[in-house]
């Protein structure tokens, strides 16, 4: 036995040093026969495997990894190929030894095959190589496959970008065109992959590098496609690119150069399918993240961007990025929309676009409810929100709000109960898990106008604002035409109900009656004989149905104008018996024909403008204080109004607050079209917010009484008690929960209330 072991020990140096002497095979065969007869082959097998393992660890692996040390990227392709070739050659020399080892192992276990021996040998190779990985090996491997991928894309004319290379370079290998190395690179690439596959090292050695490289390619390609407009769907082109470019390249890698996937074995085909699923999910995730970053712009461009919204809806079903979408879009809305630098109409336009786009993105309404909550809170803080909404509803030009009004759907408020009978139970579907169960009915039913009304929680503010705008329109027109206003009123009645708009119907009836009454007065021969200087027409209003007027001061008209108005009142009294008129002298329109030495001006102005210039007919020079005394008007208001006549060149300020009439124009070359318009026309009515503020003051005494008796109360309890005690009887004012919160918070800012721990209480005196 001792002699046999010594002979075995002599045989191993021959194997390890790769000595190929003529009698080595015969010697090893004799040893194996003797081992077989002595039945000690297990120990010899372990010694042979140990010797192979030592040789691979000490010789083969260091030589292979030496190609990766101090290697520049420009030389990586060639050195990686040489490293794989050297490794393949070194390991191929072990094949005769593997056949002998197979004989040795079969002597102990006849069921062992050559594949079992090779698998064990390859396992030794993998463990030896992976145990000695250098730090920078992935850089070399990545450059090798990056060059090969470029050549593959360029050769198949798939994604070649000519803008990155000049005309004298190949787009694949970056060599001069006359020295193109693409064919050589393709050949070496396939040979290298074939050898790595044969050694079962492809996945272990380059799998992570391939994944990272493909991920970078996918990200760059998606960014390139998404940088274009949003009016085209990109999912199908991306899936086609992934199939024809990325997966086709992977197939060639795993097939060792063959372009036909049918030549692949079932195991390799399964590996590619797994890779395809992972890459497809990564593609959707990258596309979703990029679209989420662009979602604000997508919303602004909606409905032109509907294909991008549809793509994002599909992606959200395959990825778990809803939370990221909510956080990103809310931050974009906050930084780009919800700040003082953006006009309220622009915010409303973006809000309406967000409603449409997010409903298309998520039909359940959960995303819309969550994302737009900060927008509703911010709109509630702006004083002109209601006026902008109502103006949009009454806009004659095409607009989102005007189109919504024409649809004629009924208004749905937050406190409207949801009738399940109105919806077929067969179409019912549960809300998503992140939905607020208290608002499911509103998500299903609320339209755009209802959502805008629900910003304030009450339709009273909108109806009052419409009354104010309607009054301004009727008072500013120079005729009695109301066809447009009647059409708008009928549309609004379908939304808000007839009871809410009864006052508006009376206002329009006043215009119709005024036209009839004025016609009767003008046809009265007695009035026609008495009137002098100018003709007068009046809009006769029922004061109790119109919004309150602003009456900080009363304009004093010239005496002959007042006399003419008295004659009109006399004619009205003769027509109506016991009724009379009370003039609003600061309202109306005056048509003036001004004749000067060098020009004649025909212009329509307000009564205060007309009164200013008429006084200069009596005296050519006036001071500001003199005009204020004569007209009973504040000097600050007159100063602003006189600016209009200064811009027209009719008046001139000769000294501070002293004005004189200019009979001749100083600017002979001034064009007639160069006329400075008057300042923005102010509303003659009290704003709806001011009216609402006065109405809400009715509740203040109730609130003070409740807090006096109960010390402190939460908002919900205050609201319930107000509905119980303060909202009884016809004609009472209603107050929604959001509006009540805003009212109480304003009282806190004014130090009339204290708020702590969710409770309101009165300050201690």
8 A C-beta contact, residue 567 and residue 530: yes
Mean pLDDT along residues 315-319: 90
Token pair for residue 519? Answer: 């016609």
Give the mean pLDDT of 319-324: 90
* pLDDT tens column, 452-509: 888 877 788 888 888 888 888 888 877 788 888 898 888 888 888 888 889 899 999 9
The residue with greater pLDDT, 390 or 528, is 390
The pLDDT assigned to 75 comes to 60
**Mean pLDDT within 514-527:** 84
User: Which pLDDT does position 160 carry in this prediction?
Assistant: 41
Evaluate if residue 358 carries a pLDDT over 80: yes
pLDDT of the residue at 734: 65
| 578 confidence band (pLDDT: 50, 70, 90) | confident
| pLDDT of 108 | 65
Q: Which residue has the higher pLDDT, 221 or 228?
A: 221
Which residues 6+ apart lie within 8 Å of 8 measured at CB?
31, 35, 44, 47
- Cis peptide bond prior to 303, omega within 30° of 0: yes
- What does the block give as tokens for 541? 């209003």
Residue 176: per-residue pLDDT: 55
- Residues of the chain with pLDDT > 70, as a percent, come to 74
Q: Span 202-231, mean pLDDT?
A: 84
- Would the pLDDT of 668 be above 50? no
The 3 state secondary structure assigned to 301-355 is CCCCCHHHHHHHHHHHHHCCCHHHHHHHHHHHHHHHCCCCCCCHHHHHHHHHHHH
pLDDT at 293: 93
Residue 98 pLDDT = 74
Residue among 717, 713, 726, 723 nearest 753 (CA) = 713
Taking alpha carbons only, the member of 366, 335, 337, 365 closest to residue 351 is: 337
Q: How confident is the model at residue 554 (pLDDT cuts 50, 70, 90)?
A: confident
The structure tokens 């509803």 sit at 393
Residue 640 makes CB contacts below 8 A (sequence gap 6+) with: 679
* Per-residue confidence (pLDDT) for residue 154, from 0 to 100: 65
CB of 602 within 8 A of CB of 658?
Answer: no
| CA pair distance 670, 298, nearest whole angstrom | 48
How far the first Cα of the chain sits from its last, in Å, is 112
- Return the minimum-mean-pLDDT range out of 9-18, 269-278, 485-494: 9-18
* Torsion angles phi and psi, residue 7, rounded to 5: -70, -35
The rounded mean pLDDT for the chain is 77
User: 404, 305, 293, 422: which is closest to 361 by C-alpha?
Assistant: 305
Residues 6 or more apart whose CB falls under 8 angstroms from that of 117 comprise 98, 101, 102, 105
Lowest mean pLDDT: which of 104-108, 267-271, 541-545? 104-108
DSSP structural state of residue 755: E
| Residue 107: per-residue pLDDT | 65
Question: Coil, strand or helix: which one is 548?
Answer: coil
Tally of CB atoms within 10 A around 183: 11
Task: Supply the pLDDT for residue 306.
Answer: 92
Predicted confidence at residue 678, as pLDDT, reads 44
**What is the reported pLDDT for 158?**
45
Q: Which of 331-335, 585-589, 680-684, 756-760 has the highest mean pLDDT?
A: 331-335
6-10, 169-173, 199-203, 359-363: least confident range? 6-10
Picking from 45, 51, 56, the residue whose alpha carbon sits closest to that of residue 101 is 45
At which residue do the structure tokens 């800012």 appear?
Answer: 749
Distance CA 90, CA 200 (A): 15
pLDDT the model gives residue 126 = 79
**Which residues, 6+ apart, have CB-to-CB distance to 606 below 8 Å?**
586, 588, 589, 590
pTM of the model: 0.70
Whether residue 180 is predicted with pLDDT greater than 80 in this model: the reply is: no
Across 205-224, average pLDDT? 85
Q: 605: which DSSP letter?
A: E
Place of tokens 């304030």: 456
Given a cut of 90, whether residue 308 has pLDDT beyond it is: yes
Q: 21: which DSSP letter?
A: -
| Top-confidence residue, 81 or 565 | 565
At 159, the pLDDT band (50, 70, 90 cuts) reads very low
Question: Which residue has 């709109």 as its token pair?
Answer: 379
Which of 252 and 561 is assigned the larger pLDDT?
561
Quick check: 686 and 472 in contact, CB under 8 A? no
Q: Which carries the bigger pLDDT value, residue 348 or residue 207?
A: 348
Residue 146 has pLDDT above 70, yes or no: yes
pLDDT reported for residue 348: 92
Mean local confidence (pLDDT), 88-93: 80
d(CA 369, CA 439) in angstroms, rounded, equals: 9
CB 141 within 8 A of CB 81: no
Determine contact, residues 298/305, Cβ cutoff 8 Å: yes
pLDDT tier at 124, thresholds 50, 70, 90: confident
Per-residue confidence at 226, pLDDT binned at 50, 70, 90? confident
pLDDT at 14: 42
The full DSSP string for 468-484 is: HHHHHHHHH-SS---HH
Question: What are residue 651's DSSP bridge partners?
Answer: 661
- The dihedral built from the CA positions of residue 287, 293, 297 and 303, taken in this order, carries a sign that is positive
In angstroms, the CA 446 to CA 643 distance is 48
pLDDT surpassing 90 at residue 287 = yes
CA nearest 287: which of 327, 333, 241, 331?
241
Res 311: pLDDT:
93
pLDDT one-digit tens code per residue, 29-70: 555 555 445 444 556 667 777 777 788 888 888 888 877 765
Q: How many whole angstroms separate alpha carbon 717 and alpha carbon 49? A: 85
**What is the pLDDT averaged over residues 205-223?**
85
Please choose, from the candidates 729, 715, 719, the residue with its C-alpha nearest in 3D space to the C-alpha of residue 699.
719
pLDDT confidence of residue 335: 93
CB under 8 Å to 56, separation ≥6 — which residues?
Answer: 124, 125, 128
SS3 content of the chain, % helix, strand, coil (to 5): 65, 5, 30
- The answer to which of 186-195, 297-306, 398-407, 627-636 has the lowest mean pLDDT is 186-195
């Amino acid at each position: 036995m001792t002699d046999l072991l010594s002979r075995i020990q002599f045989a191993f140096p021959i194997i390890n040093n790769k000595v190929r002497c003529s009698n080595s095979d015969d010697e090893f065969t004799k040893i194996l026969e003797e081992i077989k007869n002595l039945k000690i082959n297990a120990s010899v097998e372990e010694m042979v495997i140990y010797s192979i393992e030592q040789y691979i660890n000490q010789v083969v692996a260091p030589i292979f990894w030496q190609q990766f040390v101090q290697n520049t990227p420009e030389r990586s392709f060639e050195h990686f190929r040489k490293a794989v070739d050297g490794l393949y050659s070194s390991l191929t020399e072990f094949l005769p030894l593997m056949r002998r080892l197979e004989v040795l192992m079969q002597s102990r276990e006849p069921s062992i095959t050559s594949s079992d021996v090779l698998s064990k040998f390859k396992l030794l190779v993998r463990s030896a190589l992976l145990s000695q990985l250098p730090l920078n090996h992935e850089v070399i491997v990545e450059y090798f496959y990056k060059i090969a991928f470029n050549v593959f894309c360029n050769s198949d004319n798939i994604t070649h970008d000519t803008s990155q290379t000049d005309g004298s370079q190949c787009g694949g290998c970056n060599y001069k065109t006359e020295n193109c190395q693409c064919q050589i690179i393709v050949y070496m690439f396939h040979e290298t992959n074939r050898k790595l596959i044969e050694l079962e090292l492809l996945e272990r050695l380059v799998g992570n590098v391939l994944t990272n490289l493909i991920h970078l390619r996918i990200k760059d390609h998606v960014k390139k496609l998404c940088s274009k407009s949003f009016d085209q769907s990109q999912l199908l082109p991306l899936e086609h690119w992934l199939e024809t470019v990325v997966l086709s390249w992977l197939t060639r890698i795993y097939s060792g150069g063959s372009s036909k996937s049918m030549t692949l074995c079932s195991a390799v085909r399964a590996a590619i399918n797994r890779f395809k699923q992972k890459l497809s999910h990564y593609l959707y995730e990258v596309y979703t993240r990029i679209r989420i970053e662009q979602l604000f712009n997508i919303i602004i461009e909606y409905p032109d961007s509907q294909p991008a919204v549809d793509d994002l809806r599909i992606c959200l079903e395959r990825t778990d990025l809803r939370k990221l979408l909510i956080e990103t879009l809310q931050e974009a809305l906050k930084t780009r929309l919800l700040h003082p630098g953006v006009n309220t109409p622009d915010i409303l336009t973006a809000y309406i676009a967000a409603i449409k786009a997010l409903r298309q993105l998520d039909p359940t309404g959960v995303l819309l409810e969550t994302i737009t909550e900060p927008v509703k809170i911010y709109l509630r803080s702006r004083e002109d929100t209601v006026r902008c909404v109502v103006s949009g509803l009454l806009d004659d030009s095409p607009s989102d709000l005007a189109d919504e009004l024409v649809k004629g759907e009924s208004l749905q408020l937050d406190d409207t109960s949801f009738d399940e009978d109105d919806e077929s139970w067969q179409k019912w579907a549960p809300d998503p898990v992140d939905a607020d169960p208290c608002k499911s009915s509103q998500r299903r039913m609320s339209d755009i106008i209802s959502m805008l009304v629900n910003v304030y929680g009450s339709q009273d503010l909108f109806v009052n604002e419409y009354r104010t705008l309607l009054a301004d329109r009727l008072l500013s027109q120079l005729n009695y035409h109301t066809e447009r206003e009647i059409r708008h009123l009928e549309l609004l009645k379908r939304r808000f109900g007839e009871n809410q708009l009864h006052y508006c119907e009376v206002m329009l009836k006043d215009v119709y009656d005024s036209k009839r009454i004025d016609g009767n007065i003008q046809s009265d021969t007695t009035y026609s004989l008495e009137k002098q200087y100018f003709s007068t027409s009046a809009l006769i209003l029922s004061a109790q149905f119109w919004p309150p007027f602003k009456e900080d001061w009363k304009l004093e008209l010239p005496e002959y104008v007042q006399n003419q108005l008295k004659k009109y009142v006399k004619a009205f009294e003769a027509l109506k018996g016991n009724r009379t008129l009370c003039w609003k002298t600061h309202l109306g329109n005056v048509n003036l024909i001004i004749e000067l030495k060098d020009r004649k001006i025909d212009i329509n102005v307000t009564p205060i403008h007309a009164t200013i210039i008429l006084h200069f007919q009596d005296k050519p020079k006036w001071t500001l204080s003199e005009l204020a005394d004569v007209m009973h008007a504040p000097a600050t208001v007159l100063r602003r109004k006189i600016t209009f006549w200064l811009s027209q060149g009719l008046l001139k300020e000769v000294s501070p607050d002293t004005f004189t009439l200019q009979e001749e124009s100083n600017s002979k070359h001034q064009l007639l079209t160069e006329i400075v318009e008057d300042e923005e026309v102010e509303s003659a009515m009290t704003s709806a917010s001011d009216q609402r503020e006065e109405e809400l003051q009715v509740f203040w005494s109730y609130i003070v009484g409740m807090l006096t008796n109960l010390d402190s109360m939460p908002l919900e309890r205050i609201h319930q008690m107000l509905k119980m005690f303060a909202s009884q009887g016809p004609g009472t004012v209603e107050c929604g929960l959001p509006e009540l919160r805003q009212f109480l918070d304003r009282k806190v800012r004014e130090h009339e209330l204290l708020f702590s721990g969710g409770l309101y209480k009165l300050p201690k005196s």
